[in-house]
Chain A
Amino acid sequence: DGGITQSPKYLFRKEGQNVTLSCEQNLNHDAMYWYRQDPGQGLRLIYYSQIVNDFQKGDIAEGYSVSREKKESFPLTVTSAQKNPTAFYLCASKTVWTVNTEAFFGQGTRLTVV
């Protein structure tokens, strides 16, 4: 089945640690995205990538880093510089070279700082 997979579903981070969230897709989509979801604030764009080996900052990139070495994969690292990392993180992918296409979302990773 084609889809987008995020792992782990739940992740706990100690203060000062970096953690990496995984996102893999087998939909052959060029574009991939990371969003952060906080209660009452909707989804905010962290980083996005429209092609392999290229990515762009979104609206809240500070304290996060990404890589796009393969078309299928777009991991997100939450660094110790992110002061309030507890949130629900969603990865998405879509075909970008045709407009108005549907974005497909993963099931999300809930990150909690302990």
Chain B
Amino acid sequence: GNSVTQMEGPVTLSEEAFLTINCTYTATGYPSLFWYVQYPGEGLQLLLKATKADDKGSNKGFEATYRKETTSFHLEKGSVQVSDSAVYFCALERDTGRRALTFGSGTRLQVQP
């Protein structure tokens, strides 16, 4: 079946530090990959996505590249801010069959001033 594995958190960084949150997946076919962000007490918002191998999704300084050879979609940001503190979820959606997102367990990011 489909699955998504994320690095465990919390990840604690100082402001302006470099961020990497690892994400690997297992899926048949050619899934689309997503990063969603959840701020405290709220629902999820799409951060970025990539729909095929070697695509790079980017938004608000965050980037992730769809690596089919390593089945990975790691999230990176060059300089984090306190306002980036949130929970980040990696997810996939298959290109056939059930059209529903499969999520990783989430990684909490805490950025200290």
Contact = CB atoms under 8 A, between A and B. Distances in A.
B44, B45, B93 interface centre (most CB from chain A within 10 Å) = B44
Contact of A31 (B89, B95, B99, B106): B99
Interface in A12-44: 31, 33, 35, 40-44
B49, B98, B99, B106 interface centre (most CB from chain A within 10 Å) = B99
A63 interface: no
A99 B32 contact: yes
Contacts, number: 60
B91 to A, nearest CB: 8
Given A50-B99, A100-B93, A107-B42, A41 B32 contact: no
B103 interface: yes
A60 to B, nearest CB: 12
B51 A100 contact: yes
Interface in B49-100: 49, 51, 89, 93, 95, 98-100
A40, A50, A56, A100 interface centre (most CB from chain B within 10 Å) = A100
Interface of B: 4, 6, 32, 36, 41-46, 49, 51, 89, 93, 95, 98-106
